Amino acid sequence: MENEGRGLPISQVGLHMKVLESLGPAITAGIHPAGTVLRTDELEHRFEVSRTVVREAIRVLESMQLVESRRRVGVTVRPPDQWNVFDPYVIRWRLAGVDRPRQLRSLTGLRSAIEPAAAALAAASATPAQCAALTEHALGMVSTSRGRQLEAYLVHDIAFHRVILAASGNEMFARLGDVVAEVLTGRTHHHVMFPDPDPAAVTLHVRVAEAVREGDAPEAERLTREITIGAMAELEVLAPEFGVGVEQP
| Residue 28, pLDDT score | 95
Between CA 144 and CA 162 the distance in angstroms is 18
Query: Which CATH superfamily, name and number, covers 88-238?
Result: GntR ligand-binding domain-like (1.20.120.530)
Q: Where are the domains of the chain?
A: 10-82, 88-238
**68, 83, 156, 173 from 65: Cα distances, Å:** 7, 5, 32, 22
User: Which residues, 6+ apart, have CB-to-CB distance to 45 below 8 Å?
Assistant: none
Residue 70 has pLDDT above 50, yes or no: yes
CA distance 197 to 93: 24
The topology (CATH level 3) of 10-82 is Arc Repressor Mutant, subunit A (1.10.10)
Residue 6, CA distances (Å) to 31, 53, 65 in order: 28, 11, 19
Using DSSP bridges, classify how beta strands 67-70 and 37-38 pair: parallel, antiparallel or unpaired: unpaired
% of residues, the chain, pLDDT over 70: 91
pLDDT band at 12 (very low <50, low <70, confident <90, very high): low
pLDDT at site 87? 95
Query: H or E stretch including 117?
Result: helix 100-125
Q: pLDDT digits over 32-65, tens only?
A: 999 999 999 999 999 999 999 999 999 999 999 9
Over residues 172-200, mean pLDDT: 94
Average the pLDDT over 95-106 and give the result.
Answer: 89
The pLDDT value recorded for residue 113 is 95
195 pLDDT band (50/70/90 cuts)? very high
Predicted model pTM: 0.86
Q: What is the pLDDT of residue 246?
A: 37
pLDDT tens digits for range 133-172: 999 999 999 999 999 999 999 999 999 999 999 999 999 9
Q: From CA 107, how far away is CA 6, in angstroms rounded?
A: 30
Asked, colleague to colleague, whether 10-82 and 88-238 share their fold, the answer is no
pLDDT for residue 247: 40
Percent of the chain topping pLDDT 90? 80
In the three-class reduction of DSSP (H, G, I as helix; E, B as strand; rest coil), residue 70 is classed as strand
